[in-house]
Amino acid sequence: MTLRLGDIVPDFTQESTAGPIHFYDWLGSSWGVLFSHPKDFTPVCTTELGYTAKLKPEFDKRNVKVLALSVDPLDSHTRWVGDIEETQGTKLNYPILADSDRKVADLYDMIHPNANDTFTVRSVFVIDPNKKLRLTLTYPASTGRNFDEILRVIDSLQLTDGYSVATPVNWQHGDDVVIVPALQDPDVIKQKFPKGYKALKPYLRMTPQPNL
């Protein structure tokens, strides 16, 4: 199936390195990042999984749970975890789904036959607490992902969900943001943005990040 932004993502139950995962129950009221790997014991995947483990405190601060996936079986994952921890200098502190029957890969359209008809591409899904899909990214197997960028997008999503703003190009936490064009009432703007704003154009109004 093809998932689009705003869709409710499919639920599933699958084995993992942390035991059976009942996805909706496991996610609970948290945000989630589900990301797939082409194959166990591959170099780029090993670096990605290790780096994500090091970032887990940052995901925790944002109420985000992380879940990896590969279509290899559980015993392969278990052996691979040792390599990840040895080479990347960190404990693997989140589960890897063992999707050998490709159930989750098919539900989330992680196998792209024109790239490879057997293994998953490097897919990323950011899912909000309402189980809605908020971001998708798809990388080729040869290119490692930028997990700092994934954190940046989560910061933007959580900020813009709570305030009438959008984040401009290359925005980083702490930078000025854009007041959404739909907000026009001066009194409401003054109430929402007591730090004021700078109107570069009527539709382009910059204001300090409101939750700081």
Instruction: Pick the closest to residue 147 from 133, 159, 158, 135 (CA basis).
Output: 135
SS3 60: helix
Q: Please report, for residues 142, 182, 183, 201, the alpha-carbon distance to residue 192 in angstroms, rounded to integers and kept in the order given.
A: 45, 14, 10, 19
The four Cα atoms 108, 114, 118, 120 give a dihedral, to 10 degrees, of -40
How many angstroms separate the CA atoms of 48 and 22, rounded?
Answer: 24
| Helix axes of 43-54 and 74-88: crossing angle, nearest 10 degrees | 70
Only one residue has tokens 């994934």, namely 150
Only one residue has tokens 């064009």, namely 181
SS3 133: strand
Q: Which one of the listed residues 27, 34, 45, 124 is annotated catalytic?
A: 45
How many angstroms separate the CA atoms of 132 and 11, rounded?
Answer: 11
Active site residue 45: yes
Residues belonging to the active site: 45
